[in-house]
Structure 1
Amino acid sequence: MNSNIYDTANQLERELRTFPAYIQVKEAMEEIRSDEATYALFQEFQTATFELQQLSEEPSEDKIKAVQSLYSKVVENSAIKKLMDNEQQLSLLVEDINQIITKPIQEIYQAPTE
């Protein structure tokens, strides 16, 4: 059987779009976008966490406290909390798929068993 690996990857992409975890994330994001205040809070949190990740040095205590305070607001928002919970489920799915896909590569680097 000589299948095109790109066809397989494209099929996986199509199937992912129909998977419940994906649909739940998509619906949760649509709910967030439908409320201006919630979407603004979501974007503020995304920006703050991205900036924190990009720091080349240890963040200041003030910066950490600001992000923690923002996080508290985010998890109190039911729509954003729902998105975060759904993202976690989707992330587990993607992680499982990644482990399956990379298994042959990992096996190359494992010591042979006798």
Structure 2
Amino acid sequence: MSVNLHDTAYELERALRNSDEYQTLRGLYDEVNADASANALFDKFRSMQIEMQQKQMMGQDISQEEIAQAQIIVSDVQKNEKISKLMEAEQRMSQIVTELNQIIIKPLEELYGSVNQ
């Protein structure tokens, strides 16, 4: 029996979009975007994250001033209830994606795991 993996992947995508977890994430994301101050703070937070990650990947040092600014932004983000709820929902969704990935790659792990034994 032949299985079209792309069809199965699109089926999984539809299931993910229809899941309670995704619907919750989508609603919270829309709430943050509808609130001008929360949206601006969230954009500032994401920009800071990307900038720090890029510097780390390029082996550049992050200054004490940049660390202090990042800590202030993180503190402000944690105080914002809408953003905090969104980030919690993002974590739940990330955990689900990690679990799905583990399930998907299980046959390869079993295959290569058995070769190494």
Query: What is the TM-score of this pair, normalised by structure 2?
Result: 0.91
Query: Larger helix proportion, structure 1 or 2?
Result: 2
Partner SS for 1:11: helix
Deviation, structure 1 residue 58: 2.6
Between 104-113 and 54-63, report the one with greater CA deviation: 104-113
RMSD: 1.4
Identical positions, percent: 37
Runs (4+) of structure 1 exceeding 6 A deviation are none
Determine helix, strand or coil for the equivalent of 2:18: coil
1:12 equivalent in structure 2: 12
Report the alpha carbon displacement of residue 104 of structure 1 after superposing the two structures with TM. Answer: 1.4
| Counterpart residue identity of residue 40, structure 1 | A
**How many pairs does the alignment contain?**
114
Unaligned runs of 5+ in 2: none
| SS of structure 1 residue aligned to 2:2 | coil
1:2 counterpart = 2:14: no
The one of 58, 70, 73 equivalent to 2:73 is 70
The answer for the alignment partner of 1:54 in structure 2 is 54
How many Å separate the matches in 2 of 1:64 and 1:19? 37
Q: TM-score, normalised by structure 1?
A: 0.94
Residue equivalent to 1:91: 94
Give how far 1:112 is off.
4.4
Q: Give, in angstroms, the shift of residue 51 of structure 1.
A: 0.2
Distance 1:109 1:65 in 2: 45
Whole-Å separation in 2 of the counterparts to 1:111 and 1:62: 50
